[in-house]
Every structure is written in structure tokens, then in C-alpha cells.
Amino acid sequence: MLTRSGDAAPRGPRRPTGTESPWALVWGRFRHHRLALVSGVILALLYLSAIFAEFLAPGDPQAYNARYTFAPPQSIHLLDRDEDGSLVFRPYVHGYAVTVDPEAMRRTFAIDPDKKHPLRLLGRSEPYLLMGFIPMQRKLLTIEGQGTPLLLLGADRLGRDVLSRLIIGTRVSLSVGLVGVVLSLAIGLVVGGLSGYHGGLLDLVVQRVIEFLRSVPTIPLWMGLAAALPRDWPPLTIYFAITVILSLVGWT
């Protein structure tokens, strides 16, 4: 249809024709929802970082270094001055100047502007296993200098790289949530399908079980599970075990 000025009328979002598949309808609504689209992109980037966590992490998240306990974050500088004084693209970070406070009996870190450590993209590193089975000797970002760590977010009280631990921890957080959702979906589909298909006594029993499970408060259940699980289990195993048990309860 033409407007009075003779131009074509602006098109709005395409309306469903009634012959599109459910997936096409969902995808169409998702594409036109900007907040959902941005959130989906961010979530996809987080999952990609979780998959390639060892490659993205600049250091070993479990490596202890008592010399750098509570070291401050380092800043990446992209431009450096050449010998003739001209600016060149040469990423680097400053090193640390360590002083000992005799009264507090502790070390104090400060950024030393005289120490410059160049950074290398896709530089060589210590051998590691990407995703637990792919041998690699390259990381996204490495630092030059023997024994000099790259601490872009600083170090914790044990001298461990905070950024590396944060990247590796992303894998744990996202995978635990994904496992819980998949288990809850699978149990709900199977039990709900059987209940709806057979009906009768089976449907009655399933509905009463669902009502009972939904009446159980979540927080006391978490506390009870945390106390009941063996203390010699590692924290990651306990976290996964609690997630699986809650999936068995939360599929309703």
C-alpha cells in the first residue's frame, strides 16, 4: 500500500502466516526481542569462554606463588616508545616493586614503571590439556620474562591468579546449571508423558508426588544435603551431587 507521498508504507515485524513451524515462530519472536538477543549473545560468549577456558586463562589457576600474595592488578599498555622516542604498538605490562613494612611485617606491592614486560599474542606456554584431552602449548596472551606472572586482576592470599581462576570457575558455574536443567527437563518429559498417556491411578500418584515435592522448601533442603554428603568429597563433586539431587526434586 502506498502513502499519500507515494512512498511505500514502512514494514513492521512479519506476522505469522499460520503455516510456520513452532521453531520458526520462536526464532522470529527472539530476533525481534533486543534484550533477549543481547542476552543470548552474552551467554554464548560465556559458554565459549568456558569451553576454551584453559586457552584463555593466562596462568595456572591452581599454581601457588607466595612471592605475589595480594599482588595488585596489572594494566595492559598498548603503546610504547621506541629508541628514537616514537610511539609504536607494543603491548606490555609493568612489573612490581616490592617493599617490606617492618612495623606491619608484611610486603607491599607497587607498580614499577621502570620494569616493562612485553606481551605476546598466541605465545608459547607450559604444556596443558585443552578441555582435558587436547595437548596445547599456546595461550591467548603470554608474558615475557622468567618467573614473571601475568596478573591482570591481581592475586589472592595464596598468590594465585584471580583472572585464571575466574575463567576456569565460569566453566564450573555454567556446566552445573546446564546439567541441572537437562536432568530436570528429561525427568519432567518422561514422567509427565507417562502420566498423561496412561492416566488413571498412575496420573493420580504422579500428581500427589509433584505436590509433595513442590511443598519441600529449597533452602533447608540445600542445608540438609550439605550436611549429609561425605566431608572427604572435593567441593566440585559435592556441588555436582547437590545439583543432581535438586534436579530430581525440582523437575516439577
The pTM of the whole model exceeds 0.85: no
User: Is pLDDT of 18 > 80?
Assistant: no
Amino acid identity at 238:
I
User: Is pLDDT of 165 > 90?
Assistant: yes
Q: Give pLDDT, residue 167.
A: 92
What pairs with residue 87 in β-bridges?
81
Helices (H) and strands (E) in the chain, counts: 7, 4
Q: Please, are residues 210 and 149 in contact by the beta-carbon 8 Å criterion?
A: no
> Beta strand 134-143 with 87-101: parallel, antiparallel or unpaired?
unpaired
- CA 157, 161, 166 angle in degrees (round to 5)? 105
Any idea what DSSP says for residue 164? H
Select from 60, 72, 120 the least CA-distant residue to 96.
72
pLDDT digits (tens, 9 = 90+) for 224-246: 877 788 888 887 787 778 778 77
User: Is pLDDT of 137 > 80?
Assistant: yes
User: Is pLDDT of 115 > 90?
Assistant: no
Give the domain ranges of the chain.
27-53, 57-160, 171-250
What the block records as the C-alpha cell of 10 is: 514502512
Select from 55, 70, 64 the least CA-distant residue to 167.
55
User: Is pLDDT of 1 > 50?
Assistant: no
What's the gap between Cα 6 and its chain centre?
53
How many Å apart are CA 176 and CA 174, to the nearest integer? 6
Band (pLDDT 50/70/90 cuts) for residue 17 is low
- Which residues are CB-neighbours of 3 under 8 A, at least 6 positions away? 9
- How many residues are listed for the chain in this entry? 252
Residues 21-41 have a mean pLDDT of 88
